[in-house]
Each structure stands twice: as C-alpha cells, then as structure tokens.
C-alpha cells in the first residue's frame, strides 16, 4: 500500500509539468478568449460583458455572415476534390507500384509537404500568375488566346489547398490500404467479383476509416487556415481566419476576433461530432 502511494505521487509529479504548461498556456488563454468574445468594443475601449452582441452581429451583418458561408463552401469543395484525387493515388502506390519502389513513390508524393507552408503558397502564386508557367504553356500551345485570371480568385485558393491536402490524404489512405490483408480481395475474386467490383464493394468500404480521418483533418486544417486564402485568394472574398486577422489588425477589435474564433471552434466541434463514429484518431 505504501509503495503504491509513493508510485502514485511520483507519477503525478512526472505529469505535473506538462499539465501545468497546458493549463497555463492553453486552457487559461482559451477561457480568457471566450470571456473576451462576450465583451464589446466601444471606440478603442474594451467594455467587459457578458453580452452576446458580437455573436448577434456575426449572424446578422452580411460581411461576417458571408465569411462563414465562404469558409464552409471552400472547405467542402477542397475536402471532396482532395479525397477524390488522393484515393486513386494511394491505391496505385499501394497496389500497382512494385514493392521496392513503393517507399520512394510515397516519399515523392508527399515531398512538398515538407516545404514551408508560406513558401508553398508563394510557389502557387508563381505558377498561377498571369505570366506564370501555366498561363504561359496554355497560351503557348494555343489553348487560350489570352491569359485567364486565376490568382486572387477562389480557384487559386482551392488549388493551393487541394495540393496540400491530396498529400495528407494520400498518407492516411495509404496507411489504411497497406494494413488490409490481400485475402479480402482474393476471396472476392474467387467468388466471381470483377476487378472493379473488388475495389468498389470490398476495398473502398474497408478504407472508410482512413478516408474519414483524413477528411476530418482536411476540414479542420482547411477551415482554420489564414495563409493560403490570403496569399492566393486575395481580398475579394474573405474567409473566417482572414476576417479574424482583419479585426485584429485594422480595428484592434479583440472581442469580435475572439467571437469569430469561438464560432470557428464550434464549427469544428460539430464536424467532429458528425464523423466521430468513424474517426480513429489513435490510428494516426
């Protein structure tokens, strides 16, 4: 009994520093932010709440409400396109590429994952610009008579995001595919399934956990990102993170920025609840 108490005390002492750090620099600031979201700005003075004025404004003021809508749309489009592109890629690498080349193929498929996030968005700005490589090639071979504006539109934001999340999803789906025993496919083939049926009816459903986990990560990271829409999408339509930065920078409106952050958080929580059934975060 005495040994057990001592053990416990030691265990608690070992956990304490990390726990204190997390509470001091994550839980407390978060609580402070929620409290701040219930205050409001009067001139340049923060008037403590609690009042729900900021939240009312978010859902009534067109520019703010539109931001949430834009963010949700972009995130949904990006998630769907990324899954559709990544699944076949992961499947080809796991099933078609000869085993000795598999690791190299995977490494290449996620190579830009390791470049700096800011630099990656800048690279797309280079590629997609009016005088960039893509427009140059398209006008060069005569497919377009004049460059089309892609930069500073939603398309540029979506392309930049899809590029990043195809890599992420390829990783999660690949991890799922290589865990599958080849016996499933073999059994289905023995029972007379065509190759396409094996993929559609056997392998695809079995990779659902990987797909949902990856899609959830995509959703969370995409809806909270400021860099990609700011560099590639410009200021024509603002996403929620861009609105938050705008409140901070131009107006110093911390209460409104906090309220927007809380709404963002709520959206992510809802998304989590929606796919919690299939999420296997421990698999990562």
Partner 1 sequence: MMRFLSWAYLAATFAFILLPVVVLVVFSFQDGRLPVPPFRGATLRWYGEILGNRALMAALRNSLLVASGSALVSVVLGFLAASGLARVALPGSALMRGVLIAPMTVSYLIIALGLLQMFNQVGIRPSLIATGIGHVVINLPLCFAILYAAMGEHQRNAMRAARDLGAAEWQVLWLISVPMLAPAVAAAFFLSFTFSWDEFIIAFLLTRFDVTLPVEIWSMLRSGLSPKTNAIGSLVFLVSVVMVVALELTLFRKART
Report 187-216 residues binding partner 1 (CB under 8 A). 195
Does 29 help bind partner 1 (rule: CB under 8 A)?
yes
Phi-psi region for residue 35, left (φ > 0), alpha (ψ -120 to 50) or beta?
Answer: alpha
188: β partners: none
Number of residues written out for the chain? 284
Which of these segments, 32-40, 50-58, 63-71, 183-191, binds partner 1 (CB under 8 A)? 32-40
- Residues numbered 161-190 forming contacts with partner 1, rule: CB under 8 A: 163, 166-167
What's the rounded Cα separation, in Å, for the pair 184 and 95?
14
- 1, 2, 18, 143: residue in contact with partner 1 (rule CB under 8 A): 18
CB under 8 Å to 103, separation ≥6 — which residues?
none
Does 147 help bind partner 1 (rule: CB under 8 A)?
no
What's the rounded Cα separation, in Å, for the pair 41 and 56?
14
Which of these segments, 60-68, 69-77, 181-189, 262-270, binds partner 1 (CB under 8 A)? 262-270
Does 246 help bind partner 1 (rule: CB under 8 A)?
no
- Residues numbered 51-80 forming contacts with partner 1, rule: CB under 8 A: none
The CB-of-204 to partner 1 minimum distance in angstroms stands at: 16
Which residue intervals of 38-181 are DSSP H helices? 53-60, 62-91, 99-109, 117-128, 133-140, 154-179
Q: Give one DSSP letter per residue of 195-210, joined into a string.
A: HHHIIIIIIHHHTHHH
- Residues numbered 102-131 forming contacts with partner 1, rule: CB under 8 A: 103, 105, 107-112, 114-120, 122-127, 129, 131
- 38, 58, 64, 93: residue in contact with partner 1 (rule CB under 8 A): 93
The CB-of-116 to partner 1 minimum distance in angstroms stands at: 5
């Amino acid at each position: 009994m005495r040994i057990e108490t001592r053990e416990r005390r030691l265990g608690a002492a070992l956990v304490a520093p990390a726990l204190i750090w997390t509470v001091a620099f994550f839980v407390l600031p978060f609580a402070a932010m929620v409290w701040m979201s219930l205050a409001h700005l009067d001139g340049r003075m923060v008037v403590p709440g609690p009042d729900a004025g900021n939240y009312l404004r978010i859902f009534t003021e067109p520019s703010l409400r539109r931001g949430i809508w834009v963010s949700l749309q972009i995130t949904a489009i990006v998630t769907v396109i990324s899954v559709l592109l990544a699944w076949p890629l992961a499947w080809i690498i796991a099933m078609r590429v000869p085993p000795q080349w598999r690791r190299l193929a995977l490494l290449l498929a996620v190579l830009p994952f390791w470049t700096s996030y800011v630099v990656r968005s800048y690279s797309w700005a280079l590629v997609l610009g009016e005088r960039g490589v893509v427009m140059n090639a398209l006008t060069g071979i005569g497919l377009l008579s004049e460059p089309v504006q892609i930069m500073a539109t939603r398309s540029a934001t979506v392309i930049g995001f899809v590029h990043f999340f195809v890599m992420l999803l390829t990783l999660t789906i690949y991890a799922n595919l290589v865990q599958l025993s080849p016996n499933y496919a073999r059994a289905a083939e023995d029972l007379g399934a065509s190759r396409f049926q094996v993929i559609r009816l056997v392998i695809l459903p079995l990779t659902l956990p990987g797909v949902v986990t990856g899609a959830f990560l995509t959703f969370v990271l995409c809806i909270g990102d400021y860099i990609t829409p700011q560099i590639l999408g410009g200021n024509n339509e603002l996403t929620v993170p861009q609105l938050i930065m705008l409140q901070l920078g131009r107006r110093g409106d911390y209460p409104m920025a906090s309220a927007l952050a809380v709404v963002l958080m709520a959206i992510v929580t809802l998304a989590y609840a929606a796919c919690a059934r299939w999420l296997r975060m421990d698999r990562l």
